[in-house]
Chain A
Amino acid sequence: MSSEMAYVIETLVKALVIIALFSALAGFATYVERKILAFMQRRLGPMMVGPYGVLQLVADMIKLFTKEDVVPKNVVKPIFLIAPLIAAISAMTALAAVPLFPEFTLFGHTVRPILADVGVGVLFVMGVASVSMYAPLLAGMSSSNKWGLLASARAVVQLLSFEVVSGFALLAPIMIIGSLSLIDINNYQIGGVAEWIIWKQPLAFVLFVIAIFAETNRTPFDLLEHETEITAGYGTEYSGMRWGMFFIGEYANMFTASFLVSLIFLGGFNPMWFIPGALAIILKVCFLIFFFMWVRAAWPHIRPDQLMWLCWKVLMPLALLNILITGIVLL
């Protein structure tokens, strides 16, 4: 077997593993989210199906797969059908450039757990993940529903605004490291907890975490499906697995964002004290996912005008100031 053939097979296997793993994780994360919310808000959460409600996951899957796939009469049909796919596809594509674990050896063959090692990893992940905002936009515009249209208008506003903040926030650490490759960024932080970039760039870390909440459409900033204002937003007309596809995309985006934060700011997959690298990054990602849910349980929704105020009058000047100070210090 030639080495080219081996490369093709290895790439295909990695792609399949990413798709299968993160679709399954999306389902599992919904269960975890409901459980954590229940603990924090003194409710029960899923309890009936299986021990401790674990089989609720399976029940939800069966429900989503067997529900009737309704396509309303006046929608723009092709776009309406494509929109949920965009959410899932772009979230999975963004994961292609993320180094998930350190290198390891399997049957004498060194496996690099990254699908495509592009030299500009950070930009690639940010750019492709931002494409996933087309999904609510197209869903809202094609479903000929006024709530949907409002949701897509909000999607435009939210994405275009917070794209600026997250880009500026990432610029400062990149200026220090001098490389756009996620592997280089990870290798810069070799040498324990003291070398993490969060200690050098605390402001950039806070700004970036706030921005990814908006970009992954998570609760304090989920204006797109704000139930009390716009019913269910872009998802109003969707049913069954098409609706589920949006959530596979959303949860996959959450995982991508968590990997990005832990790689850039929290030391990546370098060993931490006695913990090996692969376990360290899994722990960091788990904590960040828990943090996403913690914030959802603790904070109320905000209004669109508050979101814009926060973005343009607080976060943007702070991000610019951070870049300026980093530049002066580096000089």
Chain B
Amino acid sequence: MYEAIAFYFFSALTLGMFSVTVLSKNALYSMSALAGGMIFISGFFFLLDAEFLGVVQIIVYSGAVMALYAFGMMFFDTTQEVREKTECKKTLYTLSLFSAVLIVLIVAAPIMGANIEATYPMSAELGNVQTIGLVLFTKYLVPFELAAVMLLVAMISGIILVSKRLDHSITLHDEDPKEEAL
């Protein structure tokens, strides 16, 4: 019973948050609702006893939405409403059509998914994390390692790109022409 209550509670919250994300005209409302919705989704993972995925959902998406905030800060005045120009009606209609088809697919998915069998079923004696580790380091070892190396390369190159200016102090200048003139 408690699971049902929690499920409907989280569903209502998540749907509400994501509708605010889509319908709101203020960039700050949209981004905050997106962050909230992403965190509420982790509730479903906890309900399904997939704690690891739930926690990863919080960690990954709270960081990702944080980066979105940084972009929002650069591109919008977040206290004002964003005025969209919807000149091209054709794109709008095409996109709406696509979303309608997508919704039909999503509703139809459980019917198709009824006869799916797990190739790596959960075993009772292993925990959540162990099971994920087992699949990750046997079947998906190569993609996992590739993704890890790519992330490391991206991280190091990011540091190198920025670090040229890290040695240069913003506040202390050895030769400041204005000060010499004074």
Contact = CB atoms under 8 A, between A and B. Distances in A.
Interface of A: 74-76, 78-79, 82, 118-120, 123-124, 126-128, 130-131, 133-134, 137-138, 141-142, 144, 149, 152-153, 156, 159-160, 163-164, 179-180, 303-305, 308-309, 312-313, 316
Given A119-B129, A124-B55, A137-B66, 5 more contacts: A127-B59, A138-B28, A156-B67, A309-B167, A316-B155
A147 B159 CA distance: 27
B70 A305 contact: no
A304 B35 CA distance: 26
A130 B63 contact: yes
Given A156-B67, A316-B159, A76 B59 contact: no
Nearest to B62: A131
Contacts, number: 104
Nearest to A141: B78
Given A120-B55, A123-B56, A160 B79 contact: no
Contacts of A179: 129
B58 A149 contact: no
Interface of B: 26, 28-29, 32, 35, 39, 46, 51-52, 55-56, 58-59, 62-63, 66-67, 69-70, 72-73, 78-79, 127-129, 155, 159, 162-163, 165-167, 169-171
A185 to B, nearest CB: 13
A8 to B, nearest CB: 8
A144 B80 CA distance: 10
A150 B28 CA distance: 16
Contact of B63 (A74, A76, A78, A160): A160
22 contacts: A76-B26, A79-B28, A82-B32, A119-B52, A120-B128, A120-B129, A123-B52, A124-B55, A126-B59, A127-B56, A127-B62, A128-B58, A133-B66, A141-B28, A141-B69, A141-B78, A153-B73, A160-B63, A163-B63, A303-B170, A305-B169, A308-B166
Contact of A305 (B67, B73, B166): B166
Q: What is the predominant secondary structure among interface residues of chain B facing chain A?
A: helix
Given A141-B73, A303-B170, A123 B159 contact: no
A131 B56 CA distance: 13
Contacts of B32: 79, 82, 138
B112 to A, nearest CB: 32
B62 A312 contact: no
Contacts of A304: 170
Contacts of B128: 119-120
Nearest to A143: B79
B166 A134 contact: no
Contacts of B170: 303-305
Closest 5 CB pairs of A and B: A127-B59, A127-B58, A123-B55, A144-B79, A309-B166
A131 B67 contact: no
Given A76-B28, A76-B29, A79-B32, A120 B51 contact: yes
Nearest to B56: A123
Most buried by B among A123, A164, A304: A123
Nearest to B168: A305
Given A156-B70, A303-B171, A79 B166 contact: no
A6 to B, nearest CB: 14
Contacts of A75: 79
A76 B32 CA distance: 12
